[in-house]
Structure 1
Amino acid sequence: MNKPVTTTELGNATPQGPRIVLFVEDGSGDWHARRLKKAMEARGATVVTTTLSACAFDTSCPSGLDIPGFDGGLPDGAFVRSVSTGTLEQITLRLGILHALRESGVRVWNDARAIERCVDKSTATFLFQKAGLATPPTRVVETHARAHAHLTADPRPFVLKPLFGSQGNGVRRAHNADELPAPEEVGDVYYMQHYLRAPEATLFEDWRVFVSNGRLLSAMVRRGKSWITNVHQGAEPIAHDPCTEMSALALAAVAAIGADYAGVDLIRDASGKLMVLEINSNPAWKGLQSVTATDIADTLAADFLAAVTQLPALA
């Protein structure tokens, strides 16, 4: 893998530096948001931390948007750390705010289009296949009856994932159609993916590759005793130097989604074939940061501000 990414000071979009809104889960922001804010401010940016739920469409504002801290005007850039959970109507409104910012000429990382594609696992899987990328055999259907019929016709172990979810939450494995969860547990949408591990496996691993601005920042092996290998679920992060195939697959996955930055999860099936498992448009990197020399928040901040100010990005 290349040597750790280093950063250089960026110029400012205005004499006062770019004005940035950082969208977080709550008012204070998590560990990741605090590091991003510090890194951006070190480069002369003014950063307002807020939530998308605190924003509003407002025709009395010159911009048509009311973003806390901007007096009816617009920021120079918006970095999305979290959209937060909510009702369908709330999520639609928040994504609408992000769409409106982009349509108003604000540079948004990641913008609503990329977030929508990543959050909806079925769309991401479709885009991977459309781009010619290897991904586990997957079928997504509505209703318990249709899911049961599919798994009866193709009886093999499978993984069922919530259509919207992260960090391994709600992921389950089943061995036959009779183990399907009730419709109300999954919103009556069944995302079914072939289980790829060898039946006798006792040690489980996959790879997380972090991409920003079209190049790799860092990567790690996630290794655990459970088949769910998210660090959040107890897997051990281990530094990893990705091979050419891994690097190319991760970069192609991010390009297929159209994301500015993302965490790409790769896996090998029982035969050793490398596949794209998932992609995350708001990835956590605390585990990865513990095993890499690259300052991920620092580099993300530099890449983002370069895009906002339209300066050359880091090599």
Structure 2
Amino acid sequence: MPGRPLAVLASRVRVEEKLILAELDRRGVPYEHLDTRQFVATLPPVQSYAAVLGREISQTRQLYACRVLEAAGTPTVNTADVIALCGDKLLTSLELSRRGLPTPRTAVVLSNESALAAIEDFGFPVVIKPLVGSWGRLAAVIRDPETARTVLEHRAALSSPQHQVVYLQELIDKPDRDIRVIVVGDEVLGAYYRCSPDWRTNVARGARSEPCPLTDELVKLSLETARAMGGGLLGVDLIEDRDGRLYVLEVNHTMEFRGFLAAHGDRIDVPGAIVDYLLAQAVW
């Protein structure tokens, strides 16, 4: 592999990043670890890397770093367009709806002032979420007008203009779990249940991981969702209702997979698949 090295964008090296870097070391692939907090580029940018893997926890830094790198002709995984689409829940919902993919009933209100009436029209219980964010932060279940007024009052005090956009979703009556599916290119590597009595079944919030069998329906829906988002390395989050119908909740452009490893062990080589995909995109 002559010429330019690969690069891995990450300000925080978590379990997943350590495993990916270890896989690159094991294969003897030249790479640089780029901390986005020290990222500097002059314009017009110059191509310095064969390909870049984005593992940055800050969506804003990752998005703009990838924009700059792509302008220099560097392949990025995932692309800036995929990051922008997956990183905004409303944009994701719009694209899924346009493709006819099943999602919970969703509404958007462009001001907190109009939100209470909209929530009452939408019907209780309803989930309110920030447009941008992960790990279930700032998401809440609203079950009555009093709670709605309290949540909206708190959101009105937040400084970001995006927090004044009210994104609402139906609360699906589900088992105590959801499903994370890992998609690499055109392949579903596997899936796992994230189990918790809390309505937010994030591993970061202590959810238990269990293997989830791959059905034809689950694979088809996950691949269709990944393609709708632009493809790449994606974590597709699905939810089942009590009758077993599947809905797409969201798509993660910088997927965490330690929960997957907890469920499947080393039977499925996620870091190896990620490196294989990255190498296939590289321009040496």
Q: Does 1:152 align with 2:120?
A: yes
Q: How many residues align?
A: 274
Report if aligned partners of 1:267, 1:276 keep a CA contact under 8 Å in 2.
yes
Structure 1 residues 84-135: Cα deviation after superposition (integer angstroms, max 9, x where no partner): 26xxxxx3x7533312322322110011111111110000011111111000
The one of 168, 191, 210 aligned to 2:136: 168
Deviation at 1:51, TM superposition (A): 2.0
DSSP-derived class of the 1:167 partner:
coil
Deviation at 1:264, TM superposition (A): 0.5
DSSP-derived class of the 1:291 partner:
helix
TM-score normalized by the length of structure 2: 0.90
Structure 1 residues 33-73: Cα deviation after superposition (integer angstroms, max 9, x where no partner): 121112123333211112223222314xxxx34xxxxxx65
Which stretch shows the higher mean deviation, 140-149 or 251-260?
140-149
Q: Distance in 1 between matches of 2:233 and 2:144?
A: 37
Partner of 1:264: 236
Q: Residue type of the partner of 1:30? A: R
Q: Distance in 2 between matches of 1:126 and 1:136?
A: 12
Partner of 2:15: 31
Any unmatched runs of 5+ in structure 1? 1-11, 66-71, 86-90, 311-315
Deviation at 1:77, TM superposition (A): 0.6
Partner of 1:239: 211
Partner of 1:21: 7
Deviation at 1:197, TM superposition (A): 1.0
Q: Does 1:208 align with 2:184?
A: no
The one of 155, 158, 168 aligned to 1:192: 168
Name the structure where helix makes up a greater proportion of residues.
2
Structure 1 residues 192-228: Cα deviation after superposition (integer angstroms, max 9, x where no partner): 1011116xxxx51111100001111111011111121
DSSP-derived class of the 1:209 partner:
strand
Q: Distance in 2 between matches of 1:125 and 1:102?
A: 26
Deviation at 1:83, TM superposition (A): 4.9
User: Percent identity, aligned pairs only?
Assistant: 24
Partner of 2:49: 75
Q: Distance in 1 between matches of 2:141 and 2:33?
A: 39
TM-score normalized by the length of structure 1: 0.81
The one of 292, 301, 304 aligned to 2:278: 304
Report if aligned partners of 1:118, 1:280 keep a CA contact under 8 Å in 2.
yes
- 4+ runs deviating over 3 angstroms: none
